[in-house]
Chain A
Amino acid sequence: MAAESDGDLLARVRAGEQLALQTLYGRHHVKIYRFALRLLRDETAAEDVVSEVFIDVWRNAAQFEGRSEASTWLLAMARNKAFSALRRRKDKPLDEEAAAEIVDDSDDPEVVMQKKSKGERLRDCLSRLSPEHREVIDLVYYHDKSIEEAARIVGVPEGTVKTRMFHARKRLAELAQAAGVDRGWP
């Protein structure tokens, strides 16, 4: 039997079916959690975002217009909630500048570089991007969002998404080069 589409599940949620909400949750909660966790860097706060998104789905399923994929709608809600949580934080979020100031003095940089594989170093660099750059990289590379979908989630024009992605890649290349991964771009 073919799996029910997300649109069909949302139609059932609109009609008040808890089981449809549970199925939708089962399908999407992990990716929403990871998206929120990458922005917030806090597991409990990311879990709260997941809960709030699906509570909103239960209450406001009628707002889904079907013009985009359900996952795009869910990620847009998660994004808004994650950025609201970032703004609410009294402590400064660990952004790229703050992260760059953290010095691991257990080894000198050359030894650290030798100990870590190229992949590990690139993943470190991905974690050190600003929230705006992390989200666009994740949306395109991990969540497989098109230009139009990414623009809808972030709430900016498509041209801005392309420009932001370009700058995110450029910043990633700079961080990678500083970490000893020089790939000749940009």
Chain B
Amino acid sequence: MTTDPNREVEAIEALLPWYAAGTLDPDDVRRVEEALARRPELQASLSVIREDRDETIALNESLGAPRGRAWEKVLAAVEASPRKPSLAARLIGLIGLGAEPNPARLAWVGAAAAIVIALESAAIVSLLPSGGGARYQVASETPGAATGAFALVAFAPGASLDQVGQWLQERHATIVDGPRGGFYRLRIGDKPLSKSETAALIADLAKSPLVRAVLPASGP
């Protein structure tokens, strides 16, 4: 069998972007690495590709995030066409059994899940401005409460009152509204943030194991 060397170089050259990104299948990775060892001109192409990739990532990361209106529009559409979840689906969601639960576990899990829902709801509601058990200053009582950075946060199932209270205190955060669709509106700090600062803050909040999801939000 004869192989045209130029065609082989072209074929490898076409694979280099995916090789640089680490998304090539193992057989092609082997082909590319063998060719790179034999042909130094491919190394030069790979360097250019890596530079392009770095700048593409930098460019995209500079683009910020959508405003809260994007989610509000989704929520409005969802609430206009609600679908009642089945009990099994709710239990699957609560305990993370996945798409194919083991039916034999659902009976005892149902009772546990119901307790989790009750405890979680009680814990979070007690942190709201209207709740008597809040151990921190609420936004409505704070001068300048309309300023600051805002985010919509859904807490993880099972997050305790103490954990959420401490988490809020550490971040100088207050719950100003919610829950709406499972999300609480938080005010964090007292200074408005730029788009990039808000994106960084949201990324930081999302790292907490107490947090299930974070979205950007506008003020009240």
Residues of A in contact with B (beta carbons under 8 Å apart):
1-2, 4-5, 7-8, 11-12, 14-23, 25-27, 29-30, 33-34, 37-38, 43, 46-48, 50-51, 54-55, 58-59, 119, 122-123, 126-127, 137-138, 140-142, 144-147, 149, 162-163, 165-166, 169, 172-173, 183-185
Choose from B59, B70, B183 the contact partner of A47 (Cβ within 8 Å).
Answer: B70
The SS class assigned to the A binding surface is: helix
A138–B53 Cα distance when bound, in Å, is 9
Contact B17 A165 (CB under 8 A): yes
Interface residue? B105 (CB, 8 A): no
Choose from A15, A46, A138, A146 the contact partner of B85 (Cβ within 8 Å).
Answer: A15
Interface residue? B74 (CB, 8 A): yes
A11–B63 Cα distance when bound, in Å, is 31
Question: Which B residues lie within 8 Å of A22 (CB)?
Answer: 71, 154, 181-183, 213, 215
Residue of B nearest to A20 (CB): B93
Stretch of B20-28, B122-130, B163-171 at the chain-chain interface:
B20-28
A123–B58 Cα distance when bound, in Å, is 8
A165–B48 Cα distance when bound, in Å, is 14
Choose from A16, A126, A140 the contact partner of B82 (Cβ within 8 Å).
Answer: A16
Choose from A4, A59, A142 the contact partner of B60 (Cβ within 8 Å).
Answer: A142
Choose from B22, B58, B81, B182 the contact partner of A19 (Cβ within 8 Å).
Answer: B182
Contact A38 B60 (CB under 8 A): yes
Question: Which A residues lie within 8 Å of B190 (CB)?
Answer: none
The SS class assigned to the B binding surface is: helix
Contact B82 A51 (CB under 8 A): no
Choose from B21, B55, B77 the contact partner of A144 (Cβ within 8 Å).
Answer: B21
Choose from B25, B77, B83, B98 the contact partner of A11 (Cβ within 8 Å).
Answer: B98
Choose from A4, A25, A142, A165 the contact partner of B57 (Cβ within 8 Å).
Answer: A142
Question: Which B residues lie within 8 Å of A27 (CB)?
Answer: 213
Contact B78 A18 (CB under 8 A): yes
A24–B187 Cα distance when bound, in Å, is 23
Contact B60 A51 (CB under 8 A): no
Could you write out 23 A-B pairs with CB less than 8 Å apart? A8-B99, A15-B92, A17-B93, A18-B182, A19-B212, A20-B93, A22-B181, A23-B213, A29-B71, A46-B66, A58-B77, A58-B81, A122-B55, A140-B18, A146-B25, A162-B15, A165-B14, A166-B13, A166-B14, A173-B48, A183-B47, A184-B44, A184-B48
CB distance from A65 to the nearest CB of B (A): 12
Choose from B15, B66, B83, B206 the contact partner of A16 (Cβ within 8 Å).
Answer: B83
Using an 8 Å CB-CB cutoff, how does the interface string of B29-53 with A read, 1 for contact, 0 for none? 0000000000000001101110111
A168–B14 Cα distance when bound, in Å, is 11
Contact A17 B65 (CB under 8 A): no
CB contact list, B187-220 vs A, under 8 A = 199, 206, 209, 212-215
A50–B22 Cα distance when bound, in Å, is 27
Residue with the highest number of chain A CB atoms closer than 10 Å, among B14, B51, B60: B60
A185–B74 Cα distance when bound, in Å, is 45
CB distance from B134 to the nearest CB of A (A): 24
Contact B51 A169 (CB under 8 A): no
